[in-house]
């Protein structure tokens, strides 16, 4: 074990409470040992000094003693982003033993700046099994990812699938997306209270989706499938947790399907752990994923899960999920949701997830040990 406290700068897209990467790094900080490792954070989730996300971890992390360095969003002005990253590293880069970058598309800048200020250990972390849902963006990202990997000294992934996508044959270490399992366990009292708050009857079937409202998550498809499901089960409700740039488009689709009274866009909520108890089925028809935190959370709540086959099979940690091609007809999707609903909830999932290595506390320890091995040259 290292004798001194290690200082690690975590570089993430944002600290939004809606984002899986944010929840992962938040959990790693929450369960770490400050005597061994200190965490600070950089993100690019501001526009001209205004935060892009209302619900975020920034202030909570500052209260916990972390420094947070926001820079302007790279997607608006790449040159400005690069200049601000350069300024941050010039100012505080020498304070850190390790930079841990969770942004492969921006690692070409972040890890290069880390190298320039003499940070020896530069970790690149893969959280996805694709770089974009848009072909032109994938073409743009390919050389950026290649340059970023050049500056990375070490590699981590959330799953084998995500690791192979970004790193190919290069060695990488899998660190699971651990969560505080006990907080997500099914709670009948929360189910009762929150269903009442949301206007959902106890007997209403509820299909749940969780994630940022962006194209990758494929929520318009989820709504179209639910529309067919609702024809067969008129009491059914859909609960969508999250927010994002595509909210207005999704609201239009919900309205066009005449579902405004039964699809609940609840936004980003701090009681997300309890809201899984409201649901009966978890639905994730994503275009691509790595190993989504929300799927781990849903399994901890005992929910039967339905995924598109673009979601890595490793996501089905408890062996109770169903995968289906996005090319399958809508009737097959509807029947799959019905079958999942009929399977019911599995209350022993938290213990199974802990046994299989998805506890936030255990993974925070593994990550600290990983950093310590880097510093010891092992």
Domain 6-178+359-375 has CATH 3.40.640.10: no
| pLDDT score for 209 | 98
Q: Tell me the domain boundaries of the chain.
A: 6-178+359-375, 181-355
Domains 6-178+359-375 and 181-355 share a fold: yes
Q: What is the 3-state secondary structure (H, E, C) of 18-66?
A: CCHHHHHHHHHHHCCCCCCEEEEEEEEEEECCEECCCCECHHHHHHCCC
Q: What are phi and psi of 305, to 5 degrees?
A: -120, 140
Is the whole-model pTM more than 0.95?
Answer: no
Q: Give me the sheet containing 322-324, strands edge to edge.
A: 263-267, 237-241, 206-210, 281-284, 305-308, 322-324
**Segments of the chain with pLDDT less than 50:** 1-2, 131-136, 139-140
Angstrom distance (rounded) from CA 25 to CA 175: 12
As given in the structure block, the two tokens for residue 131 are 């770089």
| pLDDT score for 129 | 74
Q: Computed over its alpha carbons, how large is the radius of gyration of the chain? A: 21
| pLDDT score for 1 | 44
| pLDDT score for 347 | 84
The fold for domain 181-355 equals: Rossmann fold (3.40.50)
């Amino acid at each position: 074990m290292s004798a001194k406290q290690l200082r690690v700068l975590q570089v993430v897209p944002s600290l939004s409470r809606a984002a899986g990467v944010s929840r992962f790094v938040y959990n790693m900080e929450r369960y770490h040992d400050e005597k061994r490792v200190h965490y600070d954070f950089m993100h690019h989730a501001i526009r001209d000094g205004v935060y892009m996300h209302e619900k975020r971890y920034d202030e909570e992390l500052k209260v916990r003693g972390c420094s947070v360095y926001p820079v302007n969003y790279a997607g608006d002005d790449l040159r400005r982003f690069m200049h601000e990253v350069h300024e941050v590293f010039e100012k505080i880069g020498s304070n850190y033993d390790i930079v841990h970058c969770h942004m492969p598309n921006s690692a070409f800048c972040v890890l290069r700046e880390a190298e320039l200020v003499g940070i020896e250990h530069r970790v690149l972390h893969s959280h996805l099994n694709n770089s974009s849902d848009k072909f032109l963006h994938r073409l743009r990202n390919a050389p950026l990812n290649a340059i970023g990997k050049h500056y990375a000294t070490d590699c981590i992934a959330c799953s084998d699938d995500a690791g192979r996508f970004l790193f190919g044959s290069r060695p990488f270490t899998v660190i699971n997306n651990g969560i505080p399992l006990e907080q997500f366990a099914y709670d009948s009292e929360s189910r009762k209270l929150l269903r009442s708050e949301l206007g959902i009857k106890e007997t209403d079937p509820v299909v749940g989706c969780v994630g940022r409202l962006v194209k990758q998550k494929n929520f318009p498809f989820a709504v179209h499938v639910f529309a067919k499901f609702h024809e067969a089960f008129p009491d059914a409700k859909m609960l969508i947790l999250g927010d994002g740039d595509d909210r207005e488009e999704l609201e239009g689709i919900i309205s066009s399907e005449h579902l405004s009274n039964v699809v609940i866009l609840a936004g980003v909520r701090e009681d997300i752990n309890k809201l899984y108890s409201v649901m009966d089925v978890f639905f994730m028809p994503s275009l691509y994923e790595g190993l989504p935190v929300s799927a781990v959370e849903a399994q901890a709540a005992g929910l039967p899960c339905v995924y598109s086959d673009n979601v890595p099979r490793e996501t089905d940690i408890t062996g109770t999920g169903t995968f289906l091609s996005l090319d399958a007809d809508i009737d097959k999707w509807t029947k799959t949701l019905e079958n999942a609903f009929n399977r019911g909830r599995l209350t022993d999932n938290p213990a199974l997830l802990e046994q299989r290595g998805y506890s936030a506390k255990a993974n925070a320890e593994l990550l600290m040990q990983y950093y310590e091995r880097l510093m010891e040259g092992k």
